[in-house]
Structure formats: C-alpha cells, structure tokens
C-alpha cells in the first residue's frame, strides 16, 4: 500500500557560518528527521539539498533550500511542482521570533510574521494556505536588532534543551504525516514539557 508523498521543508541559510544559528532551526529539524526515519542519499534539486525515506509506508521528502532564507520560496515552489505534492502534504518549518524559545506551533495557514523566507514562499506559491511548523526562538534581548539575533548561535543554555525541542518538533511533523494537521496541532502546540 502506497500513500501520497509528503514534503517537509526546513528553512535556513546554507554555509558553515550559519549552521548553528537560530535562523537555521528549520535545517536542524530536517537533519533530526532524516536521522529518525533513516533517510538515505542526498542530492541537489530545485536549489535545495534533499533526502528521502519511508515512515510507516509514507514517503517523506526532506528539503533544506540553499537559496539563502529570503529566497526560500524558489525551492518550495520547485519541489512541489516536481514531485506533484498537494499543498495539504507540505509542511514548512521555520524559526519564529514571536514565539518563546522551546514552544512549537503548527498552523494550517497564516502570514509570514516578519519571517522573510515565509514571505517569499507565500508570494511564490500565491497562497498562505499551507501547513507550517513554527519553532519559537524568542525575542532579542534589549535593543538588539532581530536580524542580528537570528544570526547568532543558540546560547549554551538553549543548546542544552535544543535536542528535546527538535525531538518534539519531529514528533509533531510525523504526527502530521500519520494522523493529519488537526491531530498534530492538538497534541503538540505548546512548550516542551
């Protein structure tokens, strides 16, 4: 028995200097998921690094756009068309300044909330009606500019609980695949316990 494939895209910036930054939590989630499902092989397609694997008879295509954050929609659009994935089988994971660190929120739709990768994705897809997995990184301290904050590495304290957050976010993405968006929202929206 085969099911329609799912496309899970994590937003971030390519390059070693951005690897551990707050803006790259979407990439971190994709790496975590790839390990969980035993994804094999990597290739570049539609300006993204992709890998794929099976989870409970569902094919998952995992992608990390390599366009830099502000042009992420190019990869999302290209991969959706290439694999003929319906929007309801797409979930885009990204950092969110307006959500406290450690909190995840799954939503069926919504605006970009100042996240430029999401803004570009919404613009190129011509709709805001697709699932997203928002990964809270919290607000910058004091008067720090958001653009500087998102490009900083996670603090030592944050790094200690980051694995728990990525596990919970992976669980949420896999729940979305198996049981649908509403089940994932009901079970996982909120803080790491």
Catalytic residues: 23
Q: How far apart are CA 62 and CA 115, in angstroms?
A: 20
The dihedrals phi and psi of 149, each to the nearest 5 degrees, come to -60, -45
Q: How far apart are CA 105 and CA 95, in angstroms?
A: 11
Q: How far apart are CA 54 and CA 61, in angstroms?
A: 9
Distance of alpha carbon 23 from its chain centroid, rounded?
A: 11
The SS3 of residue 140 is coil
- List beta partners, residue 7: 61, 90
Supply 91's token pair.
């979930």
- The radius of gyration of the chain's CA atoms, rounded to the nearest angstrom, is 15
Q: How far apart are CA 51 and CA 36, in angstroms?
A: 13
Q: How far apart are CA 40 and CA 156, in angstroms?
A: 31
């Amino acid at each position: 028995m085969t099911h329609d494939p799912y496309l899970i895209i994590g937003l971030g910036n390519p390059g070693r200097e951005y690897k551990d930054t707050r803006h790259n939590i979407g990439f971190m989630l994709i790496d975590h998921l790839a390990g969980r499902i035993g994804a094999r092989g990597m290739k570049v397609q539609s300006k993204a690094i992709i890998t794929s694997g099976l989870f409970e008879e569902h094919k998952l295509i995992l992608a990390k756009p390599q366009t830099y954050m502000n042009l992420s929609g190019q990869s999302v659009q290209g991969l959706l068309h290439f694999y003929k994935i319906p929007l309801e089988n797409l979930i885009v994971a990204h950092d969110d300044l307006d959500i406290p660190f450690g909190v995840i929120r799954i939503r069926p739709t919504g605006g970009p909330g100042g996240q430029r990768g999401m803004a570009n994705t919404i613009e190129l897809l011509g709709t805001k009606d697709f699932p997203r997995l928002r990964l809270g990184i919290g607000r910058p301290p004091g008067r720090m500019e958001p653009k500087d904050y998102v490009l900083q590495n996670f603090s030592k304290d944050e790094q200690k609980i980051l694995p728990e957050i990525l596990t919970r976010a992976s669980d949420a993405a896999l729940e979305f695949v198996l049981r649908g968006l509403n089940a994932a929202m009901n079970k996982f929206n909120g803080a790491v316990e």
